[in-house]
A and B are shown apart, each in its own frame.
Chain A
């Protein structure tokens, strides 16, 4: 495929043609007069070729200035973290944050810990990624959908919500529906103290979402002993459990960055959306045109000044 980087320059061809038509007409007339006066044959093959070159050269120059580029298309399969980091902007994913706002989360500043962990996650997302923030207890409430920047602004407001009971399975079911409806590869991040006391089995629910190709990450906040069996069962089912307790800021950021890369790569691969089309520009045509212009101009000089 050929595209012109400066197509508007093609408009210059119109005045060039008009000018050349005028000059050529005048030249032919003058030559005729000279030929009749001097009785000298001005019309030779060489002169015709030189005249043609004089007309073609500026036309080619205009074409060269429009910079015609050959576009070569090729596919890249994103299958390593290194490639993902390089092309992350081209591959959006949807990160769904499910934040537990049951009364137990307001003990020992667990909710603040959840907000900090959520912020760390958001800061490592790509600008092209979509963010959904929902709070849950016995029910789920969506509070934000949009980009990373907007999410960072609203994340502090989750403290305004408090919902009785904790049903992780309901929240996961809601998130699963959202991923299916959007068609965008998703990652579900659950921030909870693990004090589940309502609804279905959260381990089973997490396992179903995880095996459907949408990675589930649990972020453990606080040290509620009721969460011990839950987090153990999740871990043993191969579900990622991130413990934010006792982590300094730098360690948390590094672990979160690694988790974002790994889970995003997983979801893209699982949904078969880890291929991108890339384009390479080839300027050979422009170079050929400029070379031809130079060659033609040099050729026209053989008639002398």
Chain B
């Protein structure tokens, strides 16, 4: 009877134990599966999140660069970004920086991948974070550029009219802002140039950054040259007035000091052909300087020619000959040449 009674009990126990084991195994397997899935999700979502953030940063950089060009040339446009949008982008970087790159939080460490990946991502993160920061600086600089460009044009137009005092006054109005803009552009240029190209995601991103560097450099160079010219005139107002009046045929000759200033100005203007929305005013200013220089060199060449005729030797003036070919120049009411 005992044996009869024991048999079903043992069978029951085995059945229950087997069921329990199956349940436990299922739970363990499920947990393991869930765990693996969850790790993959984290990794994939992080990668996606970073990629999206980096792409957004490049889009913002591109938009700010376009905004900078249009602000510099004062071409009517709708500002493509708001300050808040850029600040929001920077907050995303700041939040990620606080949480992501601490070793215990870095999700890739759980997947057995090497810390090298962490370093690569960290470097990319730093590069794009720098670009995002520069986007904000560029945004603020663009607004200031819009303000200073008309004043730059005005200051140059006064100088063309030989109104040195007003020309300098206009410049002094914007001097602090101009210095700030130059400093900001310098910072942007330095930051973007320092970025390791290898850390950027794609060739398109590298091109965008290079374009931003070129634009910044172009504007920076022009504004710096303008500032140098204005400082030079600010320190030599009388000499500049002489040059200007001389160019306008209101003065027969200029002093040697004014001549030196004229050459300095001519040298400074040599590679300055573009000053954004003030380019036409710059051209007028350049034409004034060139005309004074042209008159001056013509006189010196004539003196040199006379000297050579008298003394039987050529002029030793180290001045480039810019006198017209054919020697007659532009004379109206005359048929001088057929061209």
Contact = CB atoms under 8 A, between A and B. Distances in A.
Contacts of A166: 339
Interface stretch (B71-79, B84-92, B259-267): B71-79
Given A236-B248, A254-B75, 18 more contacts: A81-B76, A164-B338, A165-B335, A195-B330, A196-B332, A202-B332, A224-B324, A225-B322, A228-B291, A232-B247, A236-B160, A236-B161, A236-B284, A241-B280, A241-B287, A242-B279, A242-B283, A254-B276
A89 to B, nearest CB: 15
Contacts of A254: 69, 72-73, 75, 276
Nearest to B248: A236
A230 to B, nearest CB: 6
Contact of A225 (B274, B279, B324): B324
B280 A82 contact: no
B332 A236 contact: no
Interface in B302-339: 322-325, 329-339
A197 B330 contact: yes
A226 B329 contact: yes
A28 B304 CA distance: 119
Interface of B: 69, 72-76, 160-161, 218, 247-248, 271, 273-274, 276-277, 279-280, 283-284, 286-288, 290-291, 294, 322-325, 329-339
B273 A228 contact: no
For A202, A227, A255, which residue has the most chain B Cβ atoms within 10 angstroms?
Answer: A255
Interface string A228-266: 111110111000111101110011001101110100000
Given A165-B338, A251-B218, A254-B73, A196 B280 contact: no
Given A197-B337, A257-B73, A258-B277, A235 B331 contact: no
Interface residues of A, number: 50
Interface in A110-151: none
26 contacts: A102-B338, A103-B338, A164-B339, A195-B337, A197-B334, A197-B337, A197-B339, A199-B333, A201-B332, A225-B294, A225-B325, A227-B330, A228-B290, A229-B329, A232-B247, A236-B248, A236-B284, A241-B280, A241-B283, A250-B69, A251-B273, A254-B73, A257-B75, A258-B73, A258-B74, A258-B279
A85 B288 CA distance: 33
What is the interface of chain B mostly: helix, strand, loop, or mixed? loop
Contacts of A225: 294, 322-325
Given A245-B273, A254-B75, A235 B287 contact: yes
Contact of A232 (B75, B288, B324, B333): B288
Given A258-B73, A261-B76, A197 B288 contact: no
A199 B330 contact: no
Contacts of B273: 243, 245-247, 251
Contacts of B333: 199-200
| Interface pairs A-B: 3 shortest CB-CB | A235-B284, A104-B339, A232-B291
B289 to A, nearest CB: 9
A229 B284 contact: no
Contacts of B160: 235-236
Contact of B339 (A195, A241, A261): A195
Contacts of A245: 273
B73 A255 contact: yes
A194 interface: yes
B335 A198 contact: yes
B137 to A, nearest CB: 22
A181 to B, nearest CB: 27
Given A104-B339, A236-B161, A82 B76 contact: yes
B274 A251 contact: yes
A255 B73 CA distance: 7
Given A103-B338, A236-B160, A241-B287, A246 B73 contact: no
A169 B333 CA distance: 11
A243 B283 contact: yes
Which of the listed residues B160, B271, B280, B323 has the most CB atoms from chain A within 10 Å of its own CB?
B280
